[in-house]
Amino acid sequence: MYTKHNIIEMLNSQSSDMERLFARGVEVRNSAIGDGVYLRGLIEYSNICSKDCLYCGIRSSNREVERYVLTETQVLDAAKFAYESNYGSVVLQCGEVKSERHITLIEHLVKEMKKLSNGTLGITLSMGEQTLECYQRWFDAGAHRYLLRIESSNRDLYNKIHPNNPQHSYDERIMAIENLRSVGFQVGSGVMIGLPYQSVEDLADDLLWMKRMDIDMCGMGPYLISEGAPFGLESAHLLKSEQWRFETSLKMIAILRILMPKINIAASTALQAINPMGRIKAIECGANIIMPNISPENIRANYNLYNNKPRSFDSKIIEDRVHYGEWGDSSHFNSKKR
């Protein structure tokens, strides 16, 4: 078994050791679940958010952002595009909003997306912390996977990157993740890599946290400065180089693959903000999921979680490995069910 010490060693590996780690990530993936890549069309439903996370470009107190909510037609057109392009799945993502009106709207949209695809489109939601009842309603409507990152599993660091108030609570976040599981969702989580004040030891703990939480899916990527967020500006002098954040993110992917061979691991969009080949590189370290953005073009600039967020993805290079028209559920989750 891998100890924290082993993991720290892997996180610090350089040159040929690092390349060997990446190759091992691929090897473990290929023998556990094959080398297939699955797509989820990402629909950025709304950038309205009640939270004020210090690192995030769409935090509620950022007045520079033009706020939007897609219309039902826009969402369903995007879902239709994903269905007709044979993506297999979509992710509907937005800021955290807890109103009954919002909950009902999402419930309706999930049902309509199911309907337009004759029940075939896999639906993942990524809409923050909600009540158990809300999660249950969205699950009953037809969503079956949910993404909710822990951002950092270190409570002190979590508190540093979020405002100090009950709305931003580490314990509530963990509770929400557990509620998602109890409702029956495949649960995805993950962290940001290279946050100021974050140590390599913290990253090793993040990986062990994911293993302990027995997550089914993971999305994690480099922390990137966001103009509209105070955290990046105040702590810029503590920021590791882009190269460090990029390589460490790839190492995190490879190590997580070794620790949890059968989970789904996304090649995060943030990787591509640093390197145009970022997401392909992630696939070559053990990731198996890509989330091409299929939001309407005219709103993409308003969903800037961080600077230089890529607005598109070119999948030609891995085209022959993409499994079209399949959900590509977490085989980790499926093997737990039996």
Supply the DSSP symbol for 35.
Answer: S
> In the complex with ligand 5AD, which residue's Cβ is closer, 270 or 285?
270
From the CB of 151, what's the least distance to ligand 5AD, in Å?
5
Question: Could you tell me which residues come within 8 angstroms of residue 45 by beta carbon, excluding any fewer than 6 positions away?
Answer: 69, 70, 75, 92, 93, 94, 109
Angle, CA 297 vertex, CA 296 and CA 298 arms, to 5°: 95
The residue range among 95-103, 117-125, 222-230, 323-331 that interacts with ligand 5AD, by the rule CB under 6 A, is 222-230
Whether residue 148 contacts residue 177, with contact meaning beta carbons closer than 8 Å, is answered with yes
> In the complex with ligand 5AD, which residue's Cβ is closer, 17 or 172?
172
Q: Considering only CA atoms, which of 131, 13, 113 is closest in space to residue 70?
A: 113
Residue 287, classed as helix, strand or coil, is: coil
The residue range among 5-13, 31-39, 172-180, 219-227 that interacts with ligand 5AD, by the rule CB under 6 A, is 219-227
Q: Looking at 224, 250, 282, 285, which residue binds ligand 5AD (CB under 6 A)?
A: 224
The residue range among 27-35, 153-161, 223-231, 293-301 that interacts with ligand 5AD, by the rule CB under 6 A, is 223-231
From the CB of 185, what's the least distance to ligand 5AD, in Å?
16
> In the complex with ligand 5AD, which residue's Cβ is closer, 151 or 329?
151
Q: Looking at 92, 94, 129, 151, which residue binds ligand 5AD (CB under 6 A)?
A: 151
Tokens representing residue 307 in the block: 């600077």
Considering only CA atoms, give the Rg of the chain. Answer: 19
Q: From the CB of residue 60, how many other CB atoms can be counted at a distance below 10 Å?
A: 18
Does 245 engage in binding with ligand 5AD (CB under 6 A)? no
> In the complex with ligand 5AD, which residue's Cβ is closer, 55 or 138?
55
In 224-279, beta strands by DSSP E: 264-267
Does 149 engage in binding with ligand 5AD (CB under 6 A)? yes
Of all residues in the shown chain, the one whose CB is closest to ligand 5AD is 306
> In the complex with ligand 5AD, which residue's Cβ is closer, 114 or 279?
279
Q: Considering only CA atoms, which of 195, 192, 240 is closest in space to residue 218?
A: 192
Q: Distance between CA atoms of 121 and 326, rounded to whole angstroms?
A: 9
Q: Looking at 152, 226, 248, 272, which residue binds ligand 5AD (CB under 6 A)?
A: 226
Q: Considering only CA atoms, which of 95, 90, 93 is closest in space to residue 112?
A: 90
Q: Looking at 157, 207, 294, 305, which residue binds ligand 5AD (CB under 6 A)?
A: 305
| Residues 52-81 contacting ligand 5AD, CB under 6 A | 55-56
Segment (H or E) for 83:
helix 72-84
Question: Which residues contact ligand 5AD (rule: CB under 6 A)?
Answer: 55-56, 149, 151, 192, 223-224, 226, 270, 305-306
